[in-house]
Amino acid sequence: MNCIINKLEYDLSEIEKLGWNQYVDKFMLEFPQKLYKYFPNTTTNILDTNGNLDKQVNFSQISLIENTIFMQNPEEFDDPFDTNIFTDNVTFISLRLKYYLTKANIKFNDFDTIENLTYLLSIELHKLFSPDLAWFTYKEKLKFLFKAENDDSSDSLNIQLFIEIMVAKLQNNAEWDSAIWYAINHESNHMLNPKKAFRISSFTTSPYLVRMWSTYANYHKGFCIEYDSSHYNPQDKVNNTIYHNTLPAIYTDDIVDTSEMQSRYLSTPGYTEQDMWDSFFHGLLRKSTLWKDQNEWRYILPSSRTRDIEKDKQGFSTPYLKISKVYIGKKMPMRQRKQLIELCNKLNIPYVGVTNNPKVYEMVDCQKNCEECINENT
């Protein structure tokens, strides 16, 4: 199975073997001198606590003024396949049941159904319980059964969380099998969406992509910002973060079931470098070949960098590479065009209009002076 990365074809299995560090090192050598991001140049209504209009904000222009980018929640992406780390729920639950049975030294058949695995586990859990037993004591017995009594490693903490959730259901008079399923489904819901832990901002390597202008720049009414990477300073902490976390997308039509990997995350002591590479390789960098013309590079940061995760459901803004030019959409209304040009002049940022190539289907720099166009139409 082949894939496309930064416009070149690679063997997907060879890319997987690179691992996190080698992938970063390899493509840092190919880091584009210029990266581009398209903006709609539209205003957003901000409501007050009563649901009334408080103000209107143009976040596109804020990104230009502050030289920042918006780190988006991958769940908000327009492509449903984008960053989609596929895990089969039934397989994941089966693996987790087998994990708990193994921890408790309970024999089972690898080909057992989920129902039978649940039955085997519920029988053993029921043996440890008696009506006159305090729930706290019962939970301590379960920790001993699953070998998680005096350990603060991540796998033991996950087991303890499983026990807490399951016992809470039992306290509400749930059946044993229902309580087990509920606790494992909680693990499933948490692990099957690891992209919740990251925020992404996407770039491309050209300001002339028609589909990008149509999709992300408000049907050519927006603008495109050029970011300059030629001033890389390894001593600059912010720059280092940008260069090591801006990576090329992996375009492939291959989707892998990551159930076993996701289950392993819960069963190992800590989030390893291999675990991180699995998340990036199988999800965060993965994209359909239908979009290969974008030649996308992604700046990826953990959402834990934000001060308030609860307020970070959509994303957050962060500084990025220095802005070196603004490309103005062909269909931007004259009044907005004039306002944007005035803003660019104030910020001392060069700008150019983008128009149709009269000979082929592509966008090119407009040869006319932008101010001339404005004067001609006012």
CB 143 within 8 A of CB 160: yes
Q: Where are the beta strands (DSSP E) in the chain?
A: 2-5, 8-11, 34-39, 44-47, 53-57, 68-72, 198-203, 223-228, 246-248, 250-251, 286-287, 297-302, 315-319, 322-328, 351-356, 363-365
Q: What is the pTM (predicted TM-score) of this model?
A: 0.77
Work out the pLDDT band at 9, boundaries 50, 70, 90. very high
Q: Are 19 and 274 a contacting pair, CB within 8 Å? A: yes
The tens digit of pLDDT for each residue in 45-80 reads 887 788 787 888 899 999 999 999 999 888 788 777
What does the block give as tokens for 83? 């960053």
| pLDDT tens-digit series, residues 207-234 | 999 999 999 999 999 999 999 998 776 6
Classify burial at 130, counting beta carbons within 10 Å of its beta carbon; exposed 0-12, middle 13-18, buried 19 or more. exposed
Confidence grade of residue 306 (pLDDT, cut at 50, 70, 90): very low
Segment 233-249, tens digit of pLDDT: 666 766 788 988 999 99
The whole-angstrom separation of Cα 222 and Cα 226 is 14
Point out which residues pair with 319 in neighbouring strands: 68
Judged by DSSP in three states, 165 sits in helix
pLDDT grade for 195, boundaries at 50, 70 and 90: low
Q: DSSP string covering 180-235, please?
A: HHHHHHHHHHHHT-GGGGEEEEEEBS-S--HHHHHHHTTTTTSEEEEEE-TT--TT
Pairing verdict, β 2-5 and 8-11 = antiparallel
Identify the residue with better confidence: 83 or 309: 83
